Structure 1
Amino acid sequence: MNFNFLSPVSDNVLAHNELLSMQALGRKLRVHSNQRGIPDLDGVNIAILGIIENRNDVDYIGEAFELDEVRKSLYALFPGSWSATIADLGDINAGESVEDTYFALKETIAILVKKNIIPILLGGSQDLTYANYRAYDSVIPMVNLVNVDCKFDLGDSAKPIKNNSYVGKIILDEPYNLFNYSNIGYQTYFNSQEEIDLMERLYFESYRLGQVNQDITIVEPVLRDANIVSLDLRCVKGAEVSLRQKFSPNGLDGKEVCAIARYAGISNKVSSFGIYEYKPSSDDALSSMLIAQIIWYFIEGVNCRVKDDDFTDESSYQKFTVLVDEQELVFYKSNKTGRWWIEIPFLAEVNNKLKRHTLLPCTHQDYVDATKNTVPDRWYKAFQKNSV
């Protein structure tokens, strides 16, 4: 297996790891080290992967960074009663060009996802999400991307790719494999009206920071339907992070961002999870510990996964039909987990790749709203997209 792109975890981190309790997470990982090389991936469920690349950051001024502090914080945490086997594959270093880094990342993710190993990506700039998305070209026909971010990052796709315009490239570059793009936690004043209108026109989903603060559970169905989750650390409010990581006084707090990571982990579809825009600073303990806890909650979620979306066995779910404005809405509720789905009617005359997208995760509240004659917003957008 070709993992030539990977460099080992630093000896500094491994020396620190030796001093930890035998119960600590770091002592239970399969680690890529100078001495032992790349670990055996048989039976591995989750792989941590650093990407030392930030040259496409619009604010890039040549500064380097490394992930040692994040790893030290993560290794020192204690795992839950987890059954998943976790490896730390080390880092992909910046290539000769940014395209070289993209290629290395794309190849590595494709190998891992095909082996049913979930990569947790720790990155520099968020444009690396583009390479993550391209890794799926050879894996599945259509991809759902969720971006936890205060900005949409649609940008000007006519210009070279940057960390504030990579979503525009994902939408417009062939092959067109993006089915749905969702943003969690956007802040209106960081997004132009044109971008907000474009999100509406494309029937993409977006959840304002205030909505998420009010009820974190609204994002669970969105994450349940995601293949790729990309988290920009600038969505976290400044009071919760170290000096160079501070971006805005408003944002998600640590508890909310960890809850989102756990929802992403619980989703049976999420097969890669990235944390980006890490900016190390001298007082780094807070940022690195937050990232470590985000990863911990994602892994916790993966360990709590329940296969509850098989609707072939009628005893495993309840079915509800609601009539809204002469439109028949069909809801399914899992007996195992209590999670809800809504059926999107498949339009036979439309030639599209969406046959497998006929069931859309939703909330119990969507069902309640439907009984009061209100069409759920998620259903409407998916139906419109299905009709295009």
Structure 2
Amino acid sequence: MNFNFLSPVSDAVLAHSELLSPQTLGKKIKIHSKQHGVPELEGVQIAIIGVLENRSDVNYMGEEFHLDEIRKSLYSLFPGNWHKTVADLGDINKGESVEDTYFALKTTITILVQKKIIPVIIGGSQDLTYANYRAYDDLAPMVNIVNVDCKFDLGDSEKPIKNDSFVGKIILDQPYNLFNYATVGYQTYFNSQEEIDLMDKLYFESYRLGQVSQDITIVEPVMRDANIVSIDLNSVKASELSSRQRISPNGLDGKEICAISRYAGISNKVSSLGIYEYKPSKDDSSTSMLVAQIIWYFIEGVNFRVKDDDFSNESNYQKFITLVEEQELVFYKSIKTQRWWIEIPFLSEINNKLKRHTLLPCMHKDYLDACDNKVPERWYKALQKNCV
């Protein structure tokens, strides 16, 4: 198998790992080292990959960076009561060009996802999400992306790709595989009115920081529907981070970003996670430990995945039908997990993207709203996207 793009985990990290307690993650995971090469992937369910690429950062000044501190923090944590095997495959170095790095990342993700291994990408600039998305060209007909970010990153797709404009490229570049794009934790003052209007026009979902902080559970249904989750560390407030990482006094706190990561892990659909915009500094320990804990919570979530979305057997779910504005809405509730779904009807007269009834993850509150004659917003947007 071709993993030529990957360079091993540094000797400094391995030496640090030697001194850790035998119960720590560093002693439990398979590690790509100079001495032993890339580990066997038999039985591995989660693979960590670093990507040392930041040239498309709008503020790029030629600086190099490494991920040693994140690895040291992660390896020093104790695993939960887990039954999943984790591997650290080392780093993808900068290619000759940014496109070369994209190609290496895209190829690596495609191989891993085909093997039912979830890649966890720790990266430089967030435009790497574009390469992550392109890895699905041969894997899935339609892709849902969730971006945990203070900005939408739509940008001007006519210009070269940057870390604040990669979503525009994802929307407009062929092949068109994007079905839904959702932003979690956006802050209005960081986004132009044009971008906010465009999100509405395309029926994409956006959850403001205030909404997420008020009720973190609103993130769960949107994660349950995601294939790719991309986390921008700039969505985290300054007080939680090291000096070079601080962007805004407002943002998600450490607990919230870890809860969001756990929701991503629990989702049966999420098959890749990226954590981006990491900038090491001399007082690095708080950021590297936060990234390590985000990864820890994701692995924890994956360990608690429950298959409850098979609705072929009626004894697995309860079905509820309500009438809203003369529209029949059909809800399903899993008996096993108490999670809710709503049916998106198939409109045969419209050349739509769905060829059958599709179930959209939702919350109990959406059902209660429907009972009060209110149309659930997620359902409305999904229906409109099918008609476009």
Is the TM value for this pair above 0.5? Answer: yes
- Partner Cα separation in structure 2 for residue 348 and residue 51 of structure 1: 44
Q: Deviations over 1:232-261 (max 9, x none)?
A: 000000000000010000000000000000
Identity %: 77
Structure 2 gap segments, 5+ residues each: none
Matched with 1:348 is 348
Deviations, residues 91-148 of structure 1 (Å, cap 9, x unaligned): 0000000000000000000000000000000000000000000000010100000000
Cα distance, 1:357–1:33 mapped onto 2, change above 3 Å: farther
Matched residue, 2:179: 179
**Match of 1:34?**
34
Which residues in structure 2 correspond to 1:207-218 (within 5 Å)? Answer: 207-218=207-218
Aligned residue type for 2:294: I
When residues 357 and 20 of structure 1 are mapped into structure 2, their CA distance, relative to the original with a 3 A threshold, is farther
The separation in 2 between residues aligned to 1:262 and 1:303, in whole angstroms, is 10
> For residues 317 and 47 of structure 2, what CA distance do their matches in structure 1 show?
33
Asked if structure 1 preserves the Cα contact closer than 8 Å seen for 2:346 and 2:356, the reply is no
Deviation for aligned residue 1:296? 0.2
In the aligned structure 2, how far is the partner of 1:349 from the partner of 1:386? 12
Match of 2:111 in 1: 111
CA contact 1:53–1:94 (8 Å) conserved in 2:
yes
> What amino acid is aligned across from residue 137 of structure 1 in structure 2?
D
Tell me: CA distance 1:356–1:137, structure 2 relative to 1, closer, same or farther (3 Å). Answer: farther
Counterparts of 1:71 and 1:146, CA distance in 2? 25
Q: Which residue of 1 aligns with 2:314?
A: 314
AA aligned opposite 1:239: S
How far off its partner does 1:356 sit? Answer: 6.4
Whole-angstrom CA distance in 1 between matches of 2:212 and 2:113: 30
1:162 paired with 2:162, answer yes
Q: 1:357 to 1:236 in 2, by over 3 A?
A: farther
Instruction: Give the residue type in structure 2 aligned to 1:120.
Output: V
- Give the drift of 1:348: 1.9
Q: In the alignment, does 2:336 pair up with 1:336?
A: yes
Is 1:59 paired with 2:63? no
Q: Which moved more, 1:353-362 or 1:11-20?
A: 353-362
The separation in 1 between residues aligned to 2:155 and 2:357, in whole angstroms, is 28
2:100 maps to a residue whose letter is: D
Q: Give 1:351 shift.
A: 3.0
Q: Is the 8 A contact 1:141 1:353 kept in 2?
A: no
> Please, what TM-score do these two structures have when normalized by structure 2?
0.99
What does residue 81 of structure 1 align with?
A: 81
Where do 1:115-154 residues align within 5 Å?
115-154=115-154
- Which string of whole-angstrom CA distances, capped at 9 and with x for unpartnered residues, describes residues 352-372 of structure 1? 442367100000000001000
Letter in 2 for 1:184: V
**For residue 260 of structure 1, what is the amino acid of its counterpart?**
I
Letter in 2 for 1:173: D
One-letter amino acid of the structure 1 residue matched with residue 2 of structure 2? N
> Residues 218-233 of structure 1: matches in 2 within 5 Å?
218-233=218-233
Q: Letter of the aligned partner of 2:92 in structure 1?
A: I
1:158-214 deviation per Cα after TM superposition (whole angstroms, max 9, x unaligned): 000000000000000000000000000000000000000000000000000000010
Which residue of 2 is the match for residue 286 of structure 1? 286
Q: Output the CA distance in 1 between the equivalents of 2:259 and 2:97.
A: 36
SS of equivalent to 2:137? helix
Secondary structure at the aligned position of 1:355 is classed as coil
Q: Which moved more, 1:240-249 or 1:350-359?
A: 350-359
Residues 1:90 and 2:66 are matched in the alignment: no
CA-CA distance at 1:347 after TM superposition? 1.4
Q: How far, CA to CA, are the matches of 2:184 and 2:211 in structure 1?
A: 9
Cα distance in 1 between the residues matched to 2:176 and 2:258: 31
> Secondary structure in 2 aligned to 1:262?
helix
The answer as to 2:303 corresponding to 1:303 is: yes
Q: How far, CA to CA, are the matches of 2:26 and 2:284 in structure 1?
A: 19
What is the rounded CA distance, in whole Å, between the counterparts of 1:356 and 1:152 in structure 2? 31
Alpha-carbon distance in 2 for matches of 1:168, 1:126: 13
Q: How many residues align?
A: 388
**CA apart distance, 1:350:** 2.9
Once residues 357 and 299 of structure 1 are traced to their aligned partners in structure 2, the CA distance between those partners, rounded to angstroms, is 32
Shift of 1:339: 0.2
Partner of 2:251: 251
Task: Give the secondary structure class of the aligned counterpart of 2:375.
Answer: coil
CA distance in 2, matches of 1:276, 1:58: 14
SS at 2:329 equivalent: strand
Q: Hey, what's the Cα distance between the residues in 2 that align with 1:288 and 1:13?
A: 13
Answer yes or no: is the 8 Å Cα contact 2:353–2:386 preserved in 1. no
Q: Secondary structure at the match of 1:17?
A: helix
Alpha-carbon distance in structure 2 between the residues aligned to 1:352 and 1:369: 27
Q: 1:295 & 1:267 partners in 2: Cα distance? A: 15
Q: Structure 2: how far apart are the matches of 1:99 and 1:352? A: 33
SS in structure 2 opposite 1:385? helix
Report how far residue 380 of structure 1 moved.
0.3
Q: Which amino acid aligns with 1:13?
A: V
After TM superposition, which residue ranges in structure 1, 4 or more long, deviate above 4 angstroms? none
Amino acid at match of 1:323: L
Question: Structure 1: how far apart are the matches of 2:275 and 2:116?
Answer: 20
Contact 2:351 2:387 in 1 (8 A): no
